[in-house]
Amino acid sequence: MTGVDEPSQAVLVETQTRHLLLVTQLLFFFSLAWCLILNHSQTAENDGISFYGVYHQTVPLLIGGYGVAFVGLWRTSTHFKSAGVPTLTWVGLRVIAVLLFVLLATPFNQGAFLDWTHMVAGVLCAIFQLEVALQLVRESRSFRTVLGLAVLLIGGGIAAASLPDWHFEYLLQGEIIFQVGFSWCLVEWTYALAQRMNVA
């Protein structure tokens, strides 16, 4: 009886986590797409996703998108913890979730202190996102997981190259590609999660 229950439990957790991630990440990208429709100016390209946290028409949209992403990341971290995923990975998801609100609470255009706090929070968020993606590839190396990591790294490279003042102004595009790669890796994690639970 136990042999039947455990695989079915693994499938349940896998599908629930995947559906949760798909819904919350799609809602996040929907809110981001709406922001892009409202304003896709040169200023937005230079300032990245953070621009939508200070532009008056898009602030509620970004708050909503980050709020939904917070719920998805936090609940996913709970599933990861119960499945025995490495501590840094599931804790990392919670840190990322909290940092989303730190980014909203520190508008980069309101003085040097808030700007630096915003930048530090953004860098920390990216580091934890990279860790989650790298741990996925260590956990389950496949063409899909490596491709997800590659998309994340390409986006991160574009965003990083856009930060110095050398007229390469694609921060927004780089950040969006990075987030697509991260979302991809999160969904791929649900397959690795099922394998881990079945083995256990």
Q: Which of 5-9, 33-37, 75-79 has the highest mean pLDDT?
A: 33-37
Confidence of residue 168 (pLDDT cuts 50, 70, 90): confident
Q: What is the residue whose two structure tokens read 């996925």?
A: 136
* DSSP structure class, residue 57: T
Q: What is the pTM of this model?
A: 0.90
Q: What's the first-to-final CA gap in the chain, in angstroms?
A: 16
Q: Which residues contact 200 (CB under 8 A, 6 or more apart)?
A: 83, 84
pLDDT over threshold 50, residue 4: no
Q: Which residues contact 157 (CB under 8 A, 6 or more apart)?
A: 174
1 CB neighbour count, 10 Å cutoff:
5
186: enclosing H helix or E strand: helix 171-199
Mean residue pLDDT of the chain comes to 89
pLDDT over threshold 50, residue 197: yes
Share of the chain above pLDDT 90, in %: 75
pLDDT over threshold 80, residue 157: yes
76 CB neighbour count, 10 Å cutoff:
25
Query: Which of 5-14, 41-50, 119-128 is the least confident region?
Result: 5-14
Confidence of residue 2 (pLDDT cuts 50, 70, 90): very low
Mean pLDDT of 146-162: 95
45 vs 39: CA distance, rounded Å:
10
Mean pLDDT of 129-149: 93
pLDDT over threshold 60, residue 33: yes
CA distances from 179 to 37, 69, 87, 105, 139 (A): 18, 11, 22, 20, 20
Mean pLDDT of 108-128: 95
If DSSP codes are grouped into helix, strand and coil, which group holds residue 183?
helix
In this prediction, residue 9 carries a pLDDT of 56
14, 198 contact by CB (below 8 A): no
In this prediction, residue 12 carries a pLDDT of 61
CA distances from 191 to 82, 107, 137, 169 (A): 15, 37, 12, 36
174, 162 contact by CB (below 8 A): yes
Confidence of residue 107 (pLDDT cuts 50, 70, 90): very high
pLDDT over threshold 80, residue 35: yes
69 vs 98: CA distance, rounded Å:
10
198 vs 200: CA distance, rounded Å:
5
Confidence of residue 3 (pLDDT cuts 50, 70, 90): very low
